[in-house]
């Protein structure tokens, strides 16, 4: 390991990233709270402001992927579709297999300049997670309970609110509902067999109702579906801890632009269309496993400097007073002060581990119990 790699793996560096992220995130959440006074006065100004505040948080994680880790994502796509990316609203359907697949989705949005306004269909519990969950609340993220009887109305209502959103956005949806594991895949294919659907080798059975209501609610506002299939070279198993340690991964992302006019409006026909899409995604993944590449032309969108500049700005604002505070604590020589310092260090380390643990595959949602089977077609 070279000197730079050794430095990146040090826990002290991780604590610095964690401190800057948490401190800046709480400041931004507070600013978002105060911005609520704008909602009844000028809703579109409130939205534009929160897009930029949201970017200050989410871009820090993208910075870790693109600048600290150096992970590069090669996009395989039709050159005729490429100029449209970032210039239109789109529903992004991304496979859900890797711990950092959401981060690659954010990187895609950042490269095309729509990270601040982009949305995701997320489980409701995430709305209560400090910083990111609170940030999502102020940017009108769409939350669901995964109980279709409750979600049918609330999800549709949230989506309809996005019809007049003033910023371009990608709306990310993981139709599989949870991350891929062998156990979940086995259960999912039992459901597929019971429903008379073709088996999938690399994906779980997609949940169709959330996708159908998204398409119906955003029709004539969203121009296309971007079918995104992600994989990593050399059987890499990327993790957020690896990114934090500065490990460079090599991602390939196959992006197909499908005009929304080609997606049926009828719920049953839309469900059948989505199942066919996942059969095609499975074939693309199988091709990648055999050949190590996806179809179409490989391209690398230019990395923008704003994520790095945003982090450097927050670091310069927050680290100097923090270090002065630490020096004063240590130089005081008080046993109580030193004990407090150790406690802060311990809490910070637990915070780092908790933030990483949120993304781990084995911490994903339950899949396959009675309730999950009942809701699977949601």
At 8, is the pLDDT very low, low, confident or very high (cuts 50, 70, 90)?
confident
- Residue 348: the pLDDT is 62
| 249: in domain | yes
Residue-range definition of the domain harbouring residue 217: 71-301
Neighbour-count burial for 21-59, b at 16+ CB within 10 Å, e otherwise: bbbbbebbbeebeebeebeeeeeeebbbbbbebbbbbbb
In Å, how far from its chain's centre is CA 319? 27
- Residue 6: the pLDDT is 81
| pLDDT > 70 fraction of the chain, expressed in percent and rounded | 87
Is residue 298 within 8 Å of 82, Cβ to Cβ?
Answer: no
At 168, is the pLDDT very low, low, confident or very high (cuts 50, 70, 90)?
very high
What confidence tens digit (pLDDT) does each residue in 123-158 have?
A: 888 888 888 989 999 999 998 887 777 788 888 899
- CATH number of domain containing 152: 3.40.1130
| 91: in domain | yes
| 257: in domain | yes
| 375: in domain | no
- Residue 72: the pLDDT is 87
| 306: in domain | no
| 115: in domain | yes
What confidence tens digit (pLDDT) does each residue in 280-333 have?
A: 999 999 999 999 999 999 999 999 999 999 999 999 999 888 777 777 766 766
| 352: in domain | no
What confidence tens digit (pLDDT) does each residue in 337-346 have?
A: 666 666 666 6
What is the C-alpha separation between 349 and 158, in angstroms, rounded?
A: 37
What is the C-alpha separation between 44 and 129, in angstroms, rounded?
A: 26
What confidence tens digit (pLDDT) does each residue in 174-187 have?
A: 999 888 889 999 99
| 144: in domain | yes
Give the predicted TM-score (pTM) of the model.
0.88
What is the C-alpha separation between 73 and 52, in angstroms, rounded?
A: 24
| Number of domains the chain is built from | 1
What confidence tens digit (pLDDT) does each residue in 20-68 have?
A: 998 999 999 999 999 999 999 999 999 999 999 999 999 999 999 999 9
Is residue 283 within 8 Å of 227, Cβ to Cβ?
Answer: no
């Amino acid at each position: 390991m070279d000197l730079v790699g050794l430095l990146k793996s040090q826990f002290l560096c991780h604590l610095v990233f964690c401190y800057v992220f948490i401190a800046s995130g709480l400041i931004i959440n507070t600013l978002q709270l105060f911005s609520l006074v704008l909602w009844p006065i000028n809703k579109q100004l409130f939205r534009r402001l929160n897009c930029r505040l949201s970017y200050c948080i989410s871009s820090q994680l993208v910075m870790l992927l693109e600048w600290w880790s150096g992970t590069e994502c090669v996009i395989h796509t039709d050159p005729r579709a490429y100029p449209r990316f970032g210039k239109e609203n789109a529903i992004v359907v991304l496979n859900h297999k890797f711990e950092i697949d959401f981060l690659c989705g954010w990187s895609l949005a950042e490269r095309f300049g729509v990270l601040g306004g982009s949305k995701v269909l997320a489980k409701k519990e995430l709305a209560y997670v400090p910083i990111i969950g609170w940030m999502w609340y102020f940017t009108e993220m769409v939350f669901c309970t995964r109980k279709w009887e409750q979600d049918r109305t609330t999800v549709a209502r949230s989506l309809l609110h996005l019809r007049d959103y003033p910023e371009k956005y990608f709306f990310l949806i993981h139709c599989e509902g949870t991350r891929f594991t062998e156990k979940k895949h086995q259960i999912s294919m039992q459901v597929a067999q019971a429903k008379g659907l073709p088996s999938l080798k690399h994906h779980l059975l997609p949940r169709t109702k959330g996708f159908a209501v998204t398409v119906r609610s955003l029709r004539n506002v969203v121009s296309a579906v971007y079918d995104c299939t992600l994989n990593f070279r050399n059987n890499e198993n990327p993790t957020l801890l690896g990114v934090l340690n500065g490990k460079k991964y090599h991602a390939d992302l196959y992006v197909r632009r499908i005009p929304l006019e080609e997606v049926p409006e009828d719920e049953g026909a839309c469900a059948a269309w989505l199942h066919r899409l996942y059969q095609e995604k499975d074939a693309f993944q199988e091709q990648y496993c055999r050949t190590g590449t996806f179809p179409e032309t490989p391209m690398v969108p230019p990395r923008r400097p704003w994520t790095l500049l945003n982090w450097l700005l927050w670091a310069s604002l927050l680290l100097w007073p923090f270090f002065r505070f630490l020096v004063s604590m240590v130089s005081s020589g008080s046993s109580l002060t030193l004990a407090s310092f150790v406690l802060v260090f311990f809490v910070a380390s637990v915070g780092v581990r908790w933030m990483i643990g949120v993304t781990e595959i084995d911490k994903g949602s339950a899949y396959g119990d009675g309730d999950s089977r009942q809701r699977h077609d949601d």
